[in-house]
Structure 1
Amino acid sequence: MRDGAGGAALVLGTSQRDAIAFGASSLGMVAFVETVKALAARGVFSSLAARKLMHIGCGPLFVLTWPLFSERGASAASCVPLAMSLKFAATGLGLLRNDAEVRAMSRTGAPRELLRGPLLYGLAFVALTRLCWRSAPGVAGMMALCFGDGMAEVVGRRYGAARRARLPWSPRKSWIGSAAFLVSAAASGLASVGLFHQLGWVEAPPAALLAPLLLAVLAGCIVESLPLNDADNVLVPLVVAAVLARLQPDAALQR
């Protein structure tokens, strides 16, 4: 009886912790997104800048809330981006009206655009959180999506406009954008893996993961360079996570 009562108390405590963590993480994400939308609406920066800021910033902010969850909190944590994805879907389908969100997250101002890039972005977070909870492949995939893919477009737009700077197989993308992806994804991925190692979630030290991480990021960069439009929001992080897990199996293990 005592063992049963103790187990029930542990489950209850874990459930309460994850419920509180879900609320805190969701509140943080909503506060960040709404702040960016409000600043864009006031003309502090353009809708393009707002979209990129949310693309780059949501992932790191979400990952920083992971310590709030329990060791088995993957399901609860994955509900944060899932709720965000459902909101994108409802807005894109016309079930919800949110003009400020559409302006901030779309390129053309069409609500249905949220059914592509933003929705796939959120679903990638759901998959990586659920399948790669507190692991190096999971966080490396997220950072490749946020920093790598985000900075590729920012730098590519700014410095890759010349025809000779464009990729032969993908004219809308540039060599310098791909270079920005490599640097940003590798740096942010290594920093995140180092944090996870310090928190005791990843067994392998960052130095042991450097070469596999660089190869995984290179694979993600190749995928990002293809003319896939919005599909790269899912394919890039999943490829990075899968390659890193394959090259360094213990990177997916917790202590």
Structure 2
Amino acid sequence: MMSGGDGFADIVGRRYGSLKLPFNEKNSWTGSISMFISCFLLSAIMLFYFSSLGYVHVSCEEALGKLVLVALAATIVEFIPVNDVVDDNIFVPLATMVAFLLFSSAAR
């Protein structure tokens, strides 16, 4: 989520992100939307790749729903303005991991 989503959001946001978020002037709506989409797509590609190799066994419908929620959690954490206390390079992976664990344990 962090490497693909944040990296892609930065590139797209700098290029096309003229409309900034009202609570975080460093981020744009375009960058945030691209973060969500790229987080979801890259995670889905990786999940189905490892599933096709037999490392994980998931149903498509269940996995896609959870990936949407995890990508949304990562994007929401990315909204938070970066300061001395909150650094998105730490909190996006943490939020992703916590969301994944919560949604994984709810499925059991």
User: Is TM > 0.5 for Structure 1 vs Structure 2?
Assistant: yes
What are the superposed Cα offsets for residues 178-227 of structure 1, whole Å, 9 maximum, x if unpaired? 00001101000001010121222222234321111101110110101111
What are the superposed Cα offsets for residues 65-104 of structure 1, whole Å, 9 maximum, x if unpaired? xxxxxxxxxxxxxxxxxxxxxxxxxxxxxxxxxxxxxxxx
Tell me what 2:2 maps to.
Answer: 145
Tell me what 1:156 maps to.
Answer: 13
Aligned residues between the structures: 105
Is residue 81 of structure 2 the alignment partner of residue 227 of structure 1?
Answer: yes
Tell me what 2:59 maps to.
Answer: 205
Give 1:218's aligned amino acid. L
Tell me what 2:101 maps to.
Answer: 245
Q: What 5-or-longer segments of structure 1 have no aligned partner?
A: 1-143
Q: TM-score, normalised by structure 2?
A: 0.87
Q: CA deviation at 1:250?
A: 8.3
Give the alignment's Cα RMSD to 1 decimal: 1.9
Tell me what 1:42 maps to.
Answer: none
**Which structure: larger Rg?**
1
Give 1:198's aligned amino acid. S
Q: What 5-or-longer segments of structure 2 have no aligned partner?
A: none
Give 1:215's aligned amino acid. L
Q: In structure 2, what is the Cα distance between the partners aligned to 1:239 and 1:233? A: 11
What are the superposed Cα offsets for residues 111-169 of structure 1, whole Å, 9 maximum, x if unpaired? xxxxxxxxxxxxxxxxxxxxxxxxxxxxxxxxx11111001111111111x3xx10011
Give 2:73's aligned amino acid. A
Structure with the bigger percentage of helix: 1
Q: Which runs of 4+ in 1 moved over 4 A?
A: none
Give 2:30's aligned amino acid. I
